[in-house]
Amino acid sequence: MQTLRRAALAVLLESDPGRKAELARALDRSMPAGADEALDEPPGLPGRPARPELVPHTQLQQRSIRTIEGRAALLHSIAHIELNAIDLAADAVWRYPGQPAQFYVDWALVAHEEGLHFQLLREHLRSLGFDYGDFPAHNGLWEMAQKTRGDLLARLALVPRTLEARGLDASPAVKAKLVGAGDHRAGEILDVILRDEIGHVAIGNRWFEAECAARGLEPVRTAAELAARYGAPRPRGPFNLAARRAAGFSDQELDQLAATPAAR
């Protein structure tokens, strides 16, 4: 019998980016989750296309946003993040058995929406004469997924609440650059992404807090301890505090961010 967890694993295994996005958008959240299934991890996770070339982030070339190539490179980097986000959400669905049914439904919804984001960005890239794979990219998001694969609490703390929350902070400035360069369609797409990503980070916050409660842990202190243990990037401002508040970050966490030197 097909289950949501098996279907999510198929998304993760798919190497063709267009097909991966289609499969993510087709996840049927009404099917049985298969929470108690014992699924072995197959080789080849995640499925990846031959291109783009993956390099350390320090090797990524900065291009002028005033050129079509520069705008395409920036959009490509965002598309790469969205494709990785499909994998991260699909991995959350299949990897962690024994969760409430809503856990799987929530992360399947995230995968569905990340698939749409990738499709929108790829379509726009093609309208500029480029395609996904035309520029190098880095592997930072999936590297954190690998580090945290053995502990759901760490995964929730450091992927949606840390790495993906950084996207909430970056979105306004990136949109301003692209729209300022005359790319209004890119601005419209980023509005869709920011709207949905607030919901995705909120899902991460909700399940992180639930897992902390189940283990008898205090969330803010636990998040800081996990960030230090796994070497997560330090928060850097400016911070989109309104988006973070909408995504469920506590007043204590927002006050801490606002007090950092980078936020001033």
pLDDT in tens, 107-166: 999 999 999 999 999 999 999 999 999 999 988 888 999 999 999 999 999 999 999 999
State the pLDDT confidence band at 262, using cuts at 50, 70 and 90. Answer: low
Average pLDDT over residues 240-250: 96
Is residue 125 one of the residues assigned to a domain? Answer: yes
Is residue 194 one of the residues assigned to a domain? Answer: yes
Q: How many domains does the chain have?
A: 1
Is residue 23 one of the residues assigned to a domain? Answer: yes
| Residue 59: per-residue pLDDT | 67
pTM: 0.95
Query: What's the pLDDT tens digit per position in 49-68?
Result: 999 988 877 667 788 888 99
Q: What is the SS3 assignment for the chain? A: CCCHHHHHHHHHHCCCHHHHHHHHHCCCCCCCCCCCCCCCCCCCCCCCCCCCCECCHHHCCCCCCCCHHHHHHHHHHHHHHHHHHHHHHHHHHHHCCCCCHHHHHHHHHHHHHHHHHHHHHHHHHHHCCCCCCCCCECCHHHHHHHHCCCCHHHHHHHHHHHHHHHHHHHHHHHHHHHHHCCCHHHHHHHHHHHHHHHHHHHHHHHHHHHHHHHHCCCHHHHHHHHHHHHCCCCCCCCCCHHHHHHCCCCHHHHHHHHCCHHHC
Using the predicted structure, report yes or no on whether residue 264 has a pLDDT greater than 50: no
Which tokens in the block code for residue 9?
């694993």
Is residue 1 one of the residues assigned to a domain? Answer: no
Using the predicted structure, report yes or no on whether residue 30 has a pLDDT greater than 50: yes
| Residue 237: per-residue pLDDT | 85
Is residue 130 one of the residues assigned to a domain? Answer: yes
CATH number of the domain that residue 259 is part of: 1.20.1260
Q: Calculate what percentage of the chain has a pLDDT beyond 90.
A: 86
Interhelix angle 68-95/140-147, nearest 10 degrees: 20
The range of the structural domain enclosing residue 57 comes to 16-31+50-263
Average pLDDT over residues 76-90: 96
d(CA 28, CA 44): 24
Is residue 43 one of the residues assigned to a domain? Answer: no
Is residue 38 one of the residues assigned to a domain? Answer: no
Average pLDDT over residues 9-15: 97
Is residue 8 one of the residues assigned to a domain? Answer: no
Query: What's the pLDDT tens digit per position in 185-213?
Result: 999 999 999 999 999 999 999 999 999 99
Average pLDDT over residues 240-247: 96
Q: What is the SS3 assignment for 114-139? A: HHHHHHHHHHHHHHCCCCCCCCCECC
Using the predicted structure, report yes or no on whether residue 263 has a pLDDT greater than 50: no
